[in-house]
Amino acid sequence: MSTTEIDQSQFDVAVVGGSIAGCATAIRFSQMGYRVGIFDKKPMNDEFHKRLCTHFIQPHSVPLLAGLGLAHLTEPEWSVRTKAVFVTPGGVIDGPGGYVAGPPDSYALNLERRVLDPALRAAARKQGVQYLDSTLVESLVEDESGWILDTTGESGSQRFRARLVVAADGRRSSLAKELGNPAESHPNDRAALFGYFTGIRPREDNRSIFIMNDRDLACVYPLVGGRTQLVLFAEKSRVEGWSGQDGRLREFLKYFDDLADAPSTAEAVPESGLLGYTDYPSQVRQPVVGSVPFVGDAALSVDAMSGVGCGFALVTADLLAQSFADRSLDKAGVADGLEEYRRRYAETVQPHIEGIYGDSLVEKNEATRKRMFTTICASEDLSQKYLSLSGRLLMPGEFQRDLMRALMTRGSAGLKR
């Protein structure tokens, strides 16, 4: 039995931020044999989870859960396997197979943060990651051998060393401010409200319903235990007059009742008050600044209407880990790994961002929008590809090419008639 003492202040990888992206990053690097520490300024008890978040895990990121030791979360006890149905100005997009890109059995997952967040922290600790909650990284300095992190916490001031630092500290990233990685902001014209209910009957196939109503999007998510989450992304002016907790809840439920394709809320019982926000611009940062990679919301925190927050957190962590596979963490290895991460991010994540910016704006030509969705709904192939695009299984460029061809074909057919 070895009596060698391990220096608890020395890490190969220090991950600043212990939410989805931070935990996923830590787990993946630990699986590669690195000594990893997570630093999070918040105290984390077993029940702590992010509340201001919906939880629709897009199909592009569901397979990543297994690699993190969380395959059990796809079972009915913990989540609801689902696929998307879109009610659009041009018809309903609800293909029998759901998604044409990715594995044949691709599905989305309604996995609540109250389940996911504690499970990720537990998986990180089980993997051997040292999780330092209630620990604020006050400053970090780079030298020839890596990084020095000065922290404060319940145990007082401590100094740690690491060969690689990963910024996973969220939308308001302190590391971004310290390292000079400002956020590029893009407007979001919609407010968001959501709540959890019992007494709403879901579809028998457990599909999640997305209803485009004027410039709004109303979402219905089936959850475990017969519960339902209702989410409304609406023009800010529509919800400004919904004042008071009771009044806002009453107007919110009336909105869903007035939608022909939404389930009845006549028997709906709220679990608690509504949550939401009125101002949430999309913001993105560079994925790498100096020798520090950014993952999750620290890299991109975009319009939640596109349902990409949890998925992009898992994906960026995976891209970073892939970029460092079979590399050392010496200076050359870190430089090469960061360059590969920058390339993978540009190829995998960046193409989706411009479309999300566009969806955040409500000033659109309704006739053009209706023509687009009429064309999509008239084609089984395009409908399936739209579902795959919305699930981030298909690159936007491929879908746009096919859509433009279909629009031109319909236009030519109309001229001939």
Q: What is the pLDDT of residue 244?
A: 87
Share of the chain above pLDDT 70, in %: 93
Q: Residue 4 above 50 pLDDT?
A: no
CA dist 308 and 60 (Å) reads: 10
Mean pLDDT of 353-376: 84
Mean pLDDT of 199-215: 93
Mean pLDDT of 266-289: 94
Digit-coded pLDDT (tens) for 246-262: 999 999 999 999 999 99
Identify the burial level of 154 via C-beta atoms within 10 angstroms of its C-beta, where 0-12 means exposed, 13-18 middle and 19 or more buried.
exposed
Q: What is the pLDDT of residue 357?
A: 82
Q: What is the pTM of this model?
A: 0.93
CATH architecture assignment, domain 10-50+114-185+283-355:
3-Layer(bba) Sandwich (3.50)
CA distances to 24, 60, 128, 270, 296 from 316, rounded to whole Å, are 9, 12, 21, 35, 6
Higher pLDDT, 157 or 365: 157
Measured at the alpha carbon of residue 382, what is the angle toward residues 380 and 383, in degrees to the nearest 5?
Answer: 60
Q: Residue 1 above 60 pLDDT?
A: no
Q: Residue 27 above 50 pLDDT?
A: yes
Residue ranges in 199-244 assigned as alpha helix (H): 236-239
Digit-coded pLDDT (tens) for 121-173: 999 999 999 999 999 999 999 999 999 999 999 889 999 999 999 999 999 99
CA dist 366 and 27 (Å) reads: 46
Q: Which of 306, 301, 93 is nearest to 190 (CA)?
A: 306
Q: What is the pLDDT of residue 18?
A: 96
Digit-coded pLDDT (tens) for 291-310: 999 999 999 999 888 888 99
Strands 275-277 and 146-153: unpaired
Digit-coded pLDDT (tens) for 30-74: 999 999 999 999 998 888 998 888 889 999 999 999 999 999 999
Q: Helices H, strands E: what count in the chain?
A: 12, 22
The residue written with tokens 């690689």 in the block is 164
Q: What is the pLDDT of residue 97?
A: 61
Q: What is the pLDDT of residue 179?
A: 97
Q: What is the pLDDT of residue 5?
A: 42
CA dist 297 and 172 (Å) reads: 8
Q: What is the enclosing helix (H) or strand (E) of 390? A: helix 380-390
Q: Which of 75, 54, 4, 108 is nearest to 388 (CA)?
A: 108
Mean pLDDT of 340-356: 94
| Domain limits, the chain | 10-50+114-185+283-355, 190-277, 363-416
The domain made up of 190-277 is a member of CATH 3.30.9.10: no
